[in-house]
């Protein structure tokens, strides 16, 4: 029988070891991606200006053309478009759930949101290809594979993020500010607009940043519907590409250490940096809040 | 000029409309998937192997692979996540290491799954020479699921009433005994709910598996159960395309004449599985909670 | 009570770790050598080998490899051959890095890999495949000259009326730059001219191209004959008056073709060797012709790169 004191020590050190393991894993991933991501500049000699500001992308050419502007612009465009479509609905839904619904509505909408989250991203991409793309092609224009298709698919995917985080934030508002406002004769809608939403603003902004992060990082659903043409996202109905889609399409066809492989790691590194920046933004938004209460 | 009473009514109506639209959208999505996919699903579809270039293939091995990868991933991440969760909620003091852990968890959680997938390609498939295999996929999924599990564990443990802890310690139990025999037991409903929910997400993962577990699977021979044999479904170095990846692959490689039906059927199966995971997590959570609290 | 559950969990993890390590050790090469019995077929192929191998790469070659693998596995139930697509670039990159057992490619390794990356690769040319321009069946054009193709794919011609068709905008569907089909088409149909960037929809694979072309009015793309000739849903277009038939390729009149390579890292062993022997054996020749490829020995012209 293991001595109780010994098992206490073993327990403590085992859990500490797990914690160290998670630090190791994370640091390993981040450092390796950073190292490989910078190789294009340090080892392969591509200039920053070349990478970020030119649009010609052909790693096979001599000299290799490494313009990643189309991918970065594409990711930004499709993510912002998705946000534009889904933020009103997400925040509206959150207001509904937190302020307006009486109880039975919330009991329905809660599982609805959970189900939205649960549907895998490939399935969204598949519905996008089989329903949305032909619809756009036949009723709106273009080839169907487009920025618009990507934006709509992503909007549906990030809607639950905005809705659930905003709902939590609104519900976390102390009840007295609502009571106080209503007691002063302000209507419910005015209270929501002028008191509750501003009070929950850090949380709502957090939900938007989280949704943006999710949109930037989505790979397969987007790759299936945007047409993957290497061009700047100048038109809503024309095919385009994103950082994640070019990684998905080209990664397996490149050899590690080669220039065409390095450039994909640089894009992965940029994605990583974007998510880090978003984490920092969220922390900054919420720093004031925790200080308050 | 709209009076405040009318603007009140209009606003309320708009919000109900939004909720209605969102619900209708979900119903439409799930309805479409089931409408297109259910007619394709039959026993043959669920058990037969995919035919590479002909019509009439099934998704049997893909379902098995999804489940196998899920079980292996959970086997790795639940203990690890629990370990970190316990450490953070019981032992950790505010300090540099604790802050480092939290930052790492957040960073890992926010990493796009395709990035973890290509990291897995580099490390497990190429450098370790495991190739496109079960074990490469499990490693990638573990990296993906670990932060989720850690947060889950920490929240579940933190939600346990401090009185329970105090009482146990007061009775003379060591900290470790308190954790294992009191706190974790009390946290089981929350843990189980969360684990099953996260299992649903792991089941549907594709981007991380595309370049680690591969886009093909060998026909599974269930008579050979030895994990060390090349032929066995439990052989860890065999390629293991999962259900979610199959949907992408069938559309991308386009060799099957019935690719659309296969994708529809596979999507329906995926969505049904997710629904099952969601429901089971609720019921399990409720049942365990009622057992624990005697309600 | 909990400690026994924890113990169980610990034991399971140890078993898991153990089997991972053991399976890793048990197969550094992922095939096992053939036992020396006399179960070989008359074509010299060993059908008694067991093992688990993966072939990946060219989607133009994929149908042939899939069907041949199915037939092989019928004769050898202990063999497991998995075939992936991904394009010739994937086949070459992954075999160069040793993460698959066979790399299928429409291109010679030197076309996509540096000398350092290609060290140790052994080429097995299993057949020849032709490529053709394909268009949507609604397009009325039957023949395109090299110059017209160049102008279409660089975006200078954007409507079918400019090349003798109806007033229909041209929609280009192309493949990623890692595709062997694309590289071969560029070399022999476009005269080495690079496609203009950003004017086309990109599809992952030959199969996806076939589907996209058949479903998109006014579309044009390039496809292996193994897909195009058996597929009634796309229309083939002649090049400079020469029809894209296997006969024309064999005689040397039609230039858009390439060898289908199956690369291995070093000389193949075990199941890999058995399968490659099978692919190169006369037993597969009927399958090659049936699927629209060309048996290598019937060619009257040859290339070295």
Over residues A222-261, the pLDDT tens digits come to: 999 999 999 999 999 999 999 999 999 999 889 988 888 9
Q: Are A150 and A219 in contact (CB under 8 A)?
A: no
Residue tagged 């273009």 (tokens) = A142
Contact C201 A239 (CB under 8 A): yes
Class of the CATH domain delimited by B41-293: mainly alpha
Of B22, B110, B251, the CB nearest to A129: B251
CB-based burial label for A111 (10 Å; 0-12, 13-18, 19+): middle
Question: Of the candidates C33, C91, C39, C36, which has an alpha carbon nearest to the alpha carbon of residue C60?
Answer: C91
Domain ranges of chain A: 65-292
The pLDDT-based confidence of B224 (bands split at 50, 70, 90) is confident
Strands, DSSP E only, in chain C?
51-57, 79-86, 102-105, 121-135, 143-144, 171-174, 200-202, 219-224, 235-239, 257-265
Model pLDDT, residue A1: 55
For C123-161, the pLDDT digits (tens) are: 999 999 999 999 999 999 999 999 999 999 999 999 999
**pLDDT of amino acid B1:** 52
pLDDT score of A165: 93
pLDDT at A233: 93
State which residue of chain C sits closest to A247, comparing Cα positions: C176
Give how far C91 is from chain A: nearest CA, Å: 7
Name residues of chain C where pLDDT drops below 70: 1-43
- CB of A32 closer than 8 Å to CB of B199: no
Q: What is the pLDDT of residue C4?
A: 47
Q: Does position A118 have pLDDT exceeding 70, yes or no? A: yes
Q: Is the ipTM of this complex over 0.95?
A: no
CB contacts, 8 Å: A227 with chain C: 201-202
pLDDT band at A6 (very low <50, low <70, confident <90, very high): confident
Residues C198 and C36: their CA atoms lie apart, in Å, by: 56
Residue B43: its pLDDT value, please?
Answer: 94
**With contacts defined as CB-CB under 8 Å, which chain A residues touch C86?**
252-253
- How far apart are the two ends of chain B, measured CA to CA in Å? 54
Give the CATH class of A65-292.
mainly alpha
Q: Name the residue of chain A whose CA is nearest to B149's CA.
A: A22
Cβ under 8 Å to C: A residues 238-257: 239, 241, 249-250, 252-256
Domains and CATH numbers, chain C: 13-127+258-298 (3.40.190.10), 130-250 (3.40.190.10)
Quick check: A16 and B98 in contact, CB under 8 A?
Answer: no
CA B141 to chain CA centroid, nearest Å: 9
pLDDT of residue C148: 94
Beta partners for residue C83, in sequence order: C55
* B62-81 mean pLDDT: 95
Q: Quick one: how far is CA B186 from the chain centroid? A: 23
Flag if C99 and B132 touch (Cβ within 8 Å): yes
- Quick check: C264 and C123 in contact, CB under 8 A? no
CA neighbours within 13 Å on the CB side: how many for A54? 14
Mention every residue, 6+ apart, whose C-beta is less than 8 A from residue B174. Answer: A4, A5, A7, A8
Distance of residue B104 Cα from the nearest chain A Cα, in angstroms? 6
Domains in chain B: boundaries: 41-293
Measured between alpha carbons, how far is C226 from C174 in angstroms, rounded to an integer? 17
The 10s digit of each residue's pLDDT in A147-197 is: 999 999 999 999 999 999 999 999 888 888 888 888 988 888 888 888 889
The tens digit of pLDDT for each residue in B1-21 reads: 557 778 888 888 999 999 999
* Tens digits of residue pLDDT in B237-284: 999 999 999 999 998 888 888 999 999 999 999 999 999 998 998 888
Range 37-66 of A in CB contact (< 8 A) with C: 55-61
User: How sure is the predictor about B182, in pLDDT bands with cuts at 50, 70 and 90?
Assistant: confident
Q: CB C204 to CB B253 under 8 A? A: yes
Dump strand ranges (E) for C195-251: 200-202, 219-224, 235-239
Contact across the interface for B236 and C3, Cβ inside 8 Å: no
Contacts of C96 in chain B (CB under 8 A): none
Average pLDDT over residues A21-40: 93
> Please, which residues have CB within 8 angstroms of residue C232's CB and are 6 or more apart in sequence?
none
Can you give the pLDDT at residue A61?
79
Cα–Cα distance for residue pair B128/B144, rounded to 1 Å: 19
Residue A237, CB-side half-sphere exposure with 13 Å CA sphere: 11
- Region B164-179: mean pLDDT is 85
**Which residues make Cβ contacts (< 8 Å) with residue A248, sequence separation at least 6?**
A219, A220, A223, B114, B207, B210
pLDDT, residue C35, reads 40
The answer to whether C87 contacts chain A (CB < 8 Å) is yes
Calculate mean pLDDT across residues A67-84: 96
The residue of chain C with its CA nearest to that of B134 is: C20
Rounded to whole angstroms, the Cα distance separating B228 from B104 reads 35
Radius of gyration of chain C (CA): 23
pLDDT mean over A120-137:
94
B-C Cβ pairs (cutoff 8 Å, strict): 125
**What's the token pair of residue A47?**
């200039």
Nearest to C201 among A57, A229, A249 (CB): A229
**Which has the closest alpha carbon to A152: A216, A83, A101, A93?**
A83
**Cβ of B236 and C23 within 8 Å?**
yes
Mean of the per-residue pLDDT values for chain A?
Answer: 90
**Cβ contact, residue pair A109, B179, below 8 Å:** no
Let me know: does A161 contact A211? Beta carbons within 8 Å. Answer: yes
């Amino acid at each position: 029988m293991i001595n109780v004191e010994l098992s206490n020590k073993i327990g403590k050190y085992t859990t500490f070891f797990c914690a160290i393991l998670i630090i190791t894993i994370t640091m390993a991933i981040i450092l390796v991606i950073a190292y490989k991501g910078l190789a294009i500049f340090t080892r392969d000699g591509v200039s920053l200006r070349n990478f970020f500001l030119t649009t010609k992308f052909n790693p096979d050419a001599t000299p290799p053309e490494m313009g990643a502007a189309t991918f970065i612009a594409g990711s930004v465009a499709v993510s912002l478009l998705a946000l534009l479509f889904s933020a009103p609905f997400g925040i509206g839904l959150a207001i509904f759930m937190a302020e307006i619904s009486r109880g039975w509505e919330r009991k329905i909408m809660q599982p609805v949101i959970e189900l939205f989250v649960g549907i895998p991203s490939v399935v969204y991409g598949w519905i996008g290809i089989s329903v949305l793309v032909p619809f756009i092609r036949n009723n709106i224009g273009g080839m169907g594979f487009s920025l618009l298709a990507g934006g709509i698919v992503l909007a549906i995917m990030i809607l639950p993020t905005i809705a659930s985080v905003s709902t939590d934030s609104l519900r976390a508002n102390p009840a007295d500010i609502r009571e106080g406002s209503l007691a002063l004769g302000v209507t419910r809608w005015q209270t929501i607009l002028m008191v509750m939403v501003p009070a929950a603003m850090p949380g709502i902004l957090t939900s938007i940043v989280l949704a943006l992060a999710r949109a930037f990082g989505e790979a397969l659903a987007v790759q299936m519907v945007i047409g993957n043409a290497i061009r700047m996202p100048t038109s809503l109905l024309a095919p385009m590409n994103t950082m994640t889609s070019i990684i998905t399409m080209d990664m397996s066809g490149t050899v590690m250490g080669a220039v065409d492989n390095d450039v994909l790691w640089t894009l992965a590194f940029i994605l990583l940096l974007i998510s880090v920046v978003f984490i920092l933004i969220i922390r900054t938004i919420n720093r004031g809040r925790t200080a308050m209460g | 000029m709209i009076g405040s009473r009318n603007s009140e009514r209009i606003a309320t109506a708009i919000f109900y409309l939004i909720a209605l639209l969102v619900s209708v959208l979900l119903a439409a999505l799930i309805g479409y998937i089931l409408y297109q996919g259910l007619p394709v699903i039959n026993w043959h579809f669920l058990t037969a192997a995919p035919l590479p270039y002909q019509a009439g293939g099934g998704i049997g091995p893909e379902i098995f692979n999804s489940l196998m990868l899920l079980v292996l991933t959970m086997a790795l991440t639940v203990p690890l996540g629990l370990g970190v969760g316990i450490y953070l909620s019981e032992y950790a003091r505010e300090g540099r290491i604790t802050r480092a852990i939290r930052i790492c968890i957040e960073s890992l959680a926010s990493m796009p799954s395709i990035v973890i997938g290509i990291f897995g390609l580099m490390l497990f498939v190429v450098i370790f020479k495991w190739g496109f295999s079960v074990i490469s996929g499990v490693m990638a999924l573990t990296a993906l699921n670990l932060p989720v599990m850690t947060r889950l564990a920490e929240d579940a443990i933190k939600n346990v009433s401090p009185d329970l802890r105090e009482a146990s310690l007061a009775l003379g139990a060591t900290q470790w005994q308190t954790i294992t025999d009191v706190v974790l037991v009390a946290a089981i409903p929350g843990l189980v709910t969360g684990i099953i929910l996260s299992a649903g997400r792991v089941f549907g993962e594709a981007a991380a598996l595309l370049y680690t577990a591969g886009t093909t699977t060998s026909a599974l021979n269930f008579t050979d159960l030895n994990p060390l044999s090349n032929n066995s479904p439990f052989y860890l170095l065999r390629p293991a395309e999962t259900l979610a990846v199959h949907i992408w692959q069938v559309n991308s490689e386009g060799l099957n004449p019935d690719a659309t039906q296969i994708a529809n059927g596979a999507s329906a199966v995926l969505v049904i599985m997710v629904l099952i995971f969601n429901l089971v997590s609720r019921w399990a959570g409720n049942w365990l909670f009622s057992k624990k609290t005697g309600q | 009570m909990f400690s026994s559950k924890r113990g169980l969990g610990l034991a399971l993890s140890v078993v898991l770790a153990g089997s991972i390590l053991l399976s890793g050790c048990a197969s550094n090469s992922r095939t096992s050598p053939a036992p020396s019995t006399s179960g070989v077929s008359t074509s010299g192929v060993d059908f008694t080998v067991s093992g688990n191998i993966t072939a990946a790469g060219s989607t133009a070659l994929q149908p042939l490899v899939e069907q041949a693998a199915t037939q092989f596995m019928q004769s050898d139930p202990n063999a497991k051959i998995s075939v992936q697509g991904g394009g010739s670039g994937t086949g070459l990159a992954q075999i160069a890095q040793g993460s698959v057992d066979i790399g299928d490619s429409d291109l010679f390794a030197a076309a996509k890999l540096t000398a350092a990356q290609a060290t140790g690769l052994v080429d097995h040319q299993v057949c020849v495949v032709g490529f053709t321009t394909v268009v949507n069946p609604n397009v009325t054009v039957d023949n395109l000259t090299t110059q017209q193709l160049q102008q279409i794919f660089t975006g200078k011609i954007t409507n079918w009326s400019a090349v003798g068709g109806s007033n229909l905008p041209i929609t280009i569907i192309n493949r990623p730059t890692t595709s062997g089909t694309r590289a071969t088409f560029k070399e022999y149909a476009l005269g080495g001219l690079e496609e203009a960037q950003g004017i086309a929809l990109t599809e992952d694979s030959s199969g996806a191209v076939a589907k996209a072309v058949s479903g998109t009015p006014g579309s044009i793309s390039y496809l292996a004959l193994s897909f195009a000739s058996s597929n009634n849903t796309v229309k083939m277009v002649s090049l400079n008056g020469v029809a894209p038939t296997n006969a024309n390729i064999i005689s040397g009149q039609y230039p858009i073709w390439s060898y289908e390579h199956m690369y291995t890292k070093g000389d193949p062993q075990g199941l890999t060797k058995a399968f490659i022997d099978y692919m190169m054996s006369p037993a597969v020749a009927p399958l090659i012709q049936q699927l629209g490829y060309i048996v290598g020995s019937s060619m009257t012209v040859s290339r070295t790169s």
